[in-house]
Amino acid sequence: MQLAKYHEACRFTDDGVYDKTAAFFHLKAAAESNIVVALMALAKMYCGLPHDILSEVDPPSTDPRIRARIGLDYMERAAQSGERSAMVYLARAFDTGLNLPDSEMRDVSR
């Protein structure tokens, strides 16, 4: 997680421009290690929500449904790790159907 923050702070460069690909890689690595802050950052990125870290970085997928599904996966992992804001987001999403991919909305309405 710290490496992603160091990239964003341009600690590895002299010209004030950081390697966004490397920063995103390190953020994903932190999320794969179940660091809740990283899980939430990626969940917010993929769900199109405001986020603090790597605010200039866009996730690689351009299809909104794929982004939403990936974002929900990260959000679910954060919720399982005890992150309250992720739990609230998921509860609202599953209750209202908002911010869910089409396939998830069909599952909720059963």
Pick the closest to residue 56 from 24, 13, 78 (CA basis): 24
Given a contact cutoff of 8 angstroms between Cβ atoms, the answer to whether 84 and 90 are in contact is no
pLDDT tens-digit profile of 36-85? 999 999 999 998 898 888 888 888 877 888 888 999 999 999 999 999 99
8 with 21: CB under 8 angstroms?
no
> Looking at per-residue confidence, does 110 or 99 come out higher?
99
Close Cβ partners of 22 (under 8 Å, ≥ 6 residues apart) = 7, 12
Q: How many residues does the structure list for the chain?
A: 110
| Strongest mean pLDDT among 65-69, 88-92, 97-101, 105-109 | 88-92
Q: What is the mean pLDDT of residues 6-28?
A: 90
Please give the Cα distance from 31 to 26 (Å, whole number).
9
